[in-house]
Chain A
Amino acid sequence: MPLPVIETPRPAPACCTAPAPAAKPAAPAASGAGRTVLLLALGLGLWAGAYAAVKPLSEWLGFEAIGLARGSRLGQAVAFFLYDAPKVLLLLTLVVFLVGIVRSFFTAERTRAILAGKRESAGNVLAALLGVVTPFCSCSAVPLFLGFVEVGIPLGVTLSFLVSAPMVNEVALVLLFGLFGWKVAALYLATGLGIAILSGFVLGRLKLERHVEPWVYESMKAGATFERERLGFTGRVEKGLEAVRDVVGKVWPWVLGGIAVGAGVHGYVPERLLASFMGKSAWWSVPAAVLVGVPLYSNAAGIIPVVEALLGKGAALGTVLAFMMSVIGLSLPELIILRKVLRPPLIAAFVGVVAAGMLLVGWLFNAVL
């Protein structure tokens, strides 16, 4: 019994037409899945235990073991770091794992097949939503753009996807949730999707197809073929772990550095310092934030600490959200890559419409909250 069980859970190399899995009998696959469920339950249990232990442990470490005074500036900064760093890293690990599993259902190929044949409006909404769950890296922006246009997905719908995919992502949402609570995270999700849907819709209305490099349409071939990867439950869990290694392995120094900056600000910089020029009353702070944010480029993990520092010191939420969106949603490297397929007028319209959406979000929240 043990031998075939060990054989099955080995991750099939992501090869599309391997006949091996189909030939395997169902029984060992099922017990392989059973083993995965067991390990998964164990892992989740450990995670929950660790998460529950963070607060008492961090307080003990900061105030008892190191012996910092509770009211002191240093004590506040260190306690903030000791509590937030493990908490955010744990949250990040769990969510990246779960999102990795969800994403194993939404390959770029499958997303394209879903979007093919959808018209505008409904297509824009769907594209923005799929942008959140489809794995995406800005270096893939061009093949993805071409692949979408090739099967006749409207330009505006494709652009909705390209706005939402980098801007609304799990790392940003987890960090917002962990540091500012679910309301800020939900606001970010809703407004990010809103911008992606509306800007794609507006760009589609502007009839800018003539500003797509001509060779794009020349190379068009009909037919959306896609092969579904046969993963199974164990394979999807493997994908989740792969995502954790990939994402958490890459962003953890950013997160720690960022929380350290946040901690320093927490203890030392006076409250309300930024209120005068980044507060609600300064209407021009929103466009200024977007103008500064577009050429800046960082991943979500790198920008959150800055966001934390800004918010903590009196900057208005709308201004800060607009800044964050412009930094991670519109990036110079991605625009340079897209230049290969889009002519300057279309790039300009793209940046303009998306940035306008971010401005509106900033002003809206500053006015409402």
Chain B
Amino acid sequence: MRIQVLGTGCAKCRQLTANAEQAVAELGLGVPVEKVEDVREIMKFRVLSTPALVVDGAVKSPGRVLTPEAIKDLLRA
């Protein structure tokens, strides 16, 4: 499983990264949460608003800071 957070380094993006890391740790997945901060790389995912959570290449939540609980639901699905 590959988990990425898209964001140019604003406070909301850091929050989403932290929440994703917490969710991953609590589920015991043992995968890193990658940060994608370069604008051109972000645009390859075709999102309009950041931060966004990407799981296995699919954009799950554009422009929202999900709670660790919501991310856990997403990762279990």
Which A residues contact B (CB, under 8 angstroms)? Answer: 11, 13-16, 18, 107-109, 112, 135-140, 142-144, 146-147, 215, 219, 225, 246, 337, 340-341
Q: Tell which of B7, B39, B64, B66 touches A146, judged by Cβ atoms closer than 8 Å.
A: B39
CB neighbours (8 Å) of B49 from chain A are 107-108, 135-137, 140, 143-144
CB neighbours (8 Å) of A13 from chain B are 60-61, 66, 70-71, 73-74, 77
Which residues in window 25-45 of B have CB below 8 A to A? 39-40, 42-43
Please state if A139 and B10 are interface contacts (CB–CB under 8 Å). yes
Please state if A15 and B74 are interface contacts (CB–CB under 8 Å). yes
Give the size category of B's interface with A. 20 to 34
Q: Tell which of A138, A140, A215, A246 touches B48, judged by Cβ atoms closer than 8 Å.
A: A140
Q: How many A-B residue pairs have CB under 8 A?
A: 78
- Complexed CA–CA distance, A172 and B17 (Å): 29
- Complexed CA–CA distance, A138 and B49 (Å): 10
Q: Tell which of A11, A15, A140 touches B63, judged by Cβ atoms closer than 8 Å.
A: A140
- Taking the nearest CB of chain B, how far is it from the CB of A343, in angstroms? 15
- Taking the nearest CB of chain A, how far is it from the CB of B47, in angstroms? 6
- Complexed CA–CA distance, A337 and B43 (Å): 15
Please state if A341 and B39 are interface contacts (CB–CB under 8 Å). yes
Please state if B50 and A135 are interface contacts (CB–CB under 8 Å). no
Please state if A139 and B12 are interface contacts (CB–CB under 8 Å). yes
- Complexed CA–CA distance, A352 and B64 (Å): 32
- Complexed CA–CA distance, A138 and B7 (Å): 12
- Complexed CA–CA distance, A246 and B74 (Å): 21
CB neighbours (8 Å) of B40 from chain A are 215, 219
> B1-36: contact bitstring with A at CB < 8 Å (1 yes, 0 no)?
000000111111100000000000000000000000
- Taking the nearest CB of chain A, how far is it from the CB of B57, in angstroms? 13
Q: A112-B48, A137-B10 are in contact. Are A143 and B61 (CB under 8 A)?
A: no
Q: Tell which of A11, A16, A143 touches B43, judged by Cβ atoms closer than 8 Å.
A: A143
- Complexed CA–CA distance, A340 and B62 (Å): 21
Q: A15-B60, A15-B61, A143-B43 are in contact. Are A108 and B48 (CB under 8 A)?
A: yes
Please state if A108 and B63 are interface contacts (CB–CB under 8 Å). yes
Please state if B48 and A14 are interface contacts (CB–CB under 8 Å). no
- Complexed CA–CA distance, A341 and B40 (Å): 10
CB neighbours (8 Å) of B39 from chain A are 142-143, 146, 340-341
